[in-house]
Amino acid sequence: MSVRLCLICGLLASAAAALLLLAPSPAFAQATATLGGKLEDGARARTVSLTVKMLGSDKPAGNFKLLAFAKFEGKPHDNATFFTDEKGTAAVTLNREAKELRFFAYGDFVVPDGWSNVPPAELSKAEIAWTLFVRPLKNVRATGKVSVTGRESPPVRASVSFAPLDVGQDGSARMFDAPYTIHSREDGSYEFELPSGYYMVWCNWADRSGNDWVYYHKVVARVAAFEDVKLDLALVKAPQFSGKVVDARTGKGIGAQIDLYSNVYLRQLRNNASDGVLADEYDENDEPVVWPAGTFKFQAWAIDPSGFTAVIKPMGSEAVLKVIPNLKAADLDGKEVIWELYTDDMRKVNLRVTTHEQDIPVMGLDVRLMPKRIDVPEHLQQSYTAGGMVDENGFVHFLGLAAGTYDVYGASGSTHLGEVTVKAEAAQEVSLKWPIPFAYGTVKLADGSVCKNLHVFIWMVNPQGRQFGPYPVDAFKENAVLREKGMIFVPLLQHGFTFKLRFAAMDGGKAYTEKDWVRITDFPLVTDEVEFKIEGEKAHKVDLTLKANPDFKAPEKRD
């Protein structure tokens, strides 16, 4: 048996060796690849002329092994492995029109995303030329010293961050991973071991020696780290931003929150403009000082001074936001800035929520919009999260939303109401249905008139037969619009439960206050009890008439 196994092993080894001999070596492999199967009659092939170089050195990557991957409309995906020639060039032929074409490197190399994907616009051309840069997967050392301009002693524990960048063919850069961050040593020195590549670098430090902290920072937009790199960082005092947020409708200052963003990691949130009530600072006698409403003063130390975006929201509202892009610290430092809210250029979106049957406006529902696909930079997406309370007509009014789609949630985020699309128009209305079981209809007085001052007492019976209640609530959900119509609205939100409802009113349907009643026996008029078992999202119509309450107790006879 052992002899037979040895013979089989020998045969397999010989076959593997033969395959290796037959496989093309880089020196003899053809620098071509074909994707998309056989070229159909009358079809036209497209050829991608590929040039491959090493990122950071611009040297041609000769005899370099790559994988090409393509997606085709309605056809199977295809891929092929090939080598570049000695000059780092190759040709990839597409026998079908490709939706997507990507390149991947083998071994200890990676093709950055900005170079890997050939844009669809390029794929539609008759002749396609694409330069591909690859990055070696090796670590390099980044060292340097941090200093503070105007200070002799080095900053201790300054925060130094190297954030990986993906640099595209057009020179644009995007951050693709979390930054590497360390603190400087006592002598101000720092040291990293990093994967080779491009990095955005920033450093922050706060002088805490006085009562008020003073911030210093430095940002380097792009550092090429393909070999060991030495980078000294001289920090400068962070710019001072001051000014006022005003309501454009009145010209008066308004309390607000100011968030600053340069990218997903370099940002400075919750910079407040004064509400005009709470203390904003304390004087030398430790007495509180309140600034005029809307006034702000702060250092901007956690942003890129060469480019950032301000997102401003009024205090107490999540339905309004003003986004001011392309700001530069040099244009704001030391100057009095006026930023306006409620301006005419802020997109107005009126979102209406009604019941899925009968179109009854839902009042008092907290609604939250979560960005899904909106036309803003990725690091600003969550800034457009907005929320508000639905009014008596079923509306939440939003200002400043970006165009795109949003998921909408209600009832403190527990209910997904659906998706809405915000268009580019300056003003628009969108609507959603709230699919819930509820009771609706009218309750009349003995003369046939609709009663507009009603309470409903609710008993709930769970599937096991246990009863809870009564729970007294306003029969119109405190909605003046429904009250004026006499349209009751009672949500019945427990599936599988049986709800028992009994409506109550004062003589003649007159108005009452909470002092007039405590229990159902305090109302001289009641309806018969109605009962609904909740199975599905159904609307249950009510058409009842009030009559004398046999259990009514006059005030002088109450316990």
Instruction: Name 504's Cβ contacts closer than 8 Å, sequence gap at least 6.
Output: 454, 455, 456, 457, 517, 520, 523, 525, 526, 527, 549
Same domain for 548 and 456: yes
- For 110-148, the pLDDT digits (tens) are 999 889 999 988 998 878 999 999 999 999 999 999 999
Phi-psi region of 265 (alpha: psi -120 to 50; beta: other; left: phi over 0): alpha
Same domain for 280 and 183: no
Same domain for 272 and 331: yes
CB-based burial, 375-396: b 16+ in 10 Å, e otherwise: ebeebbbebbebbbebbbebbb
State which amino acid sits at residue 267: R
Q: Which residue in 71, 28, 35, 36 sits closest to 50, CA to CA? A: 35
The dihedrals phi and psi of 19, each to the nearest 5 degrees, come to -65, -40
* Residue 217 belongs to domain with CATH number: 2.60.40.1120
C-beta atoms surrounding 464 within 10 Å: 6
Contact 517, 455 (CB under 8 A): yes
Same domain for 310 and 363: no
What pLDDT is recorded for position 141?
A: 97
Same domain for 165 and 107: no
Contact 372, 406 (CB under 8 A): yes
What pLDDT is recorded for position 16?
A: 38
Task: Report CA-CA distances (Å) from 235 to 81, 178, 205, 216.
Answer: 49, 22, 8, 6
Rounded distance between C-alpha atoms, residue 454 and residue 470, angstroms: 15
Rounded distance between C-alpha atoms, residue 455 and residue 525, angstroms: 11
Same domain for 315 and 265: yes
- For 205-232, the pLDDT digits (tens) are 999 988 889 999 999 999 999 999 999 9
Same domain for 288 and 247: yes
Residue at a domain's end among 237, 268, 285: 237
Rounded distance between C-alpha atoms, residue 149 and residue 214, angstroms: 13
Per DSSP, the residues of 164-202 read EEEE-TTS-EEE-SPPEEEE--TTSEEEEEEESEEEEEE
Strands (E), 334-426: 336-341, 348-355, 366-374, 386-389, 395-399, 404-410, 415-422
Contact 360, 482 (CB under 8 A): yes
- Please indicate, yes or no, if residue 263 is contained in any of the structural domains: yes
- Please indicate, yes or no, if residue 547 is contained in any of the structural domains: yes
- Please indicate, yes or no, if residue 2 is contained in any of the structural domains: no
Same domain for 450 and 412: no
24: tokens are: 């093309």
Q: What is the model's pTM?
A: 0.84
**Would strands 173-175 and 159-167 be described as parallel, antiparallel, or unpaired?**
antiparallel
What pLDDT is recorded for position 23?
A: 42
- Please indicate, yes or no, if residue 449 is contained in any of the structural domains: yes
| Residue 363 burial class via C-beta count within 10 angstroms: exposed 0-12, middle 13-18, buried 19 and up | buried
The strand pairing partners of 290, in sequence order, are none
What pLDDT is recorded for position 28?
A: 45
State which amino acid sits at residue 210: G
- Please indicate, yes or no, if residue 10 is contained in any of the structural domains: no
The dihedrals phi and psi of 9, each to the nearest 5 degrees, come to -60, -40
- Please indicate, yes or no, if residue 9 is contained in any of the structural domains: no
Number of domain units in the chain: 5
What pLDDT is recorded for position 8?
A: 39
What pLDDT is recorded for position 559?
A: 57
Contact 457, 521 (CB under 8 A): no
- For 262-305, the pLDDT digits (tens) are 999 999 999 999 999 999 999 888 899 999 999 999 999 999 99
Same domain for 455 and 508: yes
* Residue 114 belongs to domain with CATH number: 2.60.130.10
Contact 429, 382 (CB under 8 A): no
Residues of the chain with pLDDT under 50: 1-28
Same domain for 553 and 443: yes
Q: Which residue in 89, 92, 4 sits closest to 45, CA to CA? A: 92
Query: What is the length of the chain?
Result: 559
Q: Which domain holds residue 232?
A: 139-237
Q: Return the half-sphere exposure (C-beta side, CA atoms, 13 A cut-off) of residue 66.
A: 32
* Residue 256 belongs to domain with CATH number: 2.60.40
Torsion of CA 480, 484, 488, 491, to 10 degrees: -20
Same domain for 263 and 211: no
- For 467-502, the pLDDT digits (tens) are 999 999 999 999 999 999 999 999 999 999 999 999
- Please indicate, yes or no, if residue 11 is contained in any of the structural domains: no
Q: Which residue in 381, 435, 368 sits closest to 407, CA to CA? A: 368
What pLDDT is recorded for position 74?
A: 84
Task: Report CA-CA distances (Å) from 41 to 45, 95, 96, 262.
Answer: 11, 11, 11, 52
Helix or strand or coil: residue 11?
Answer: helix
- Please indicate, yes or no, if residue 8 is contained in any of the structural domains: no
- For 420-438, the pLDDT digits (tens) are 999 999 999 999 999 999 9
Residue at a domain's end among 398, 431, 464: 431
State which amino acid sits at residue 472: P
Residue at a domain's end among 170, 205, 237: 237
Same domain for 307 and 213: no
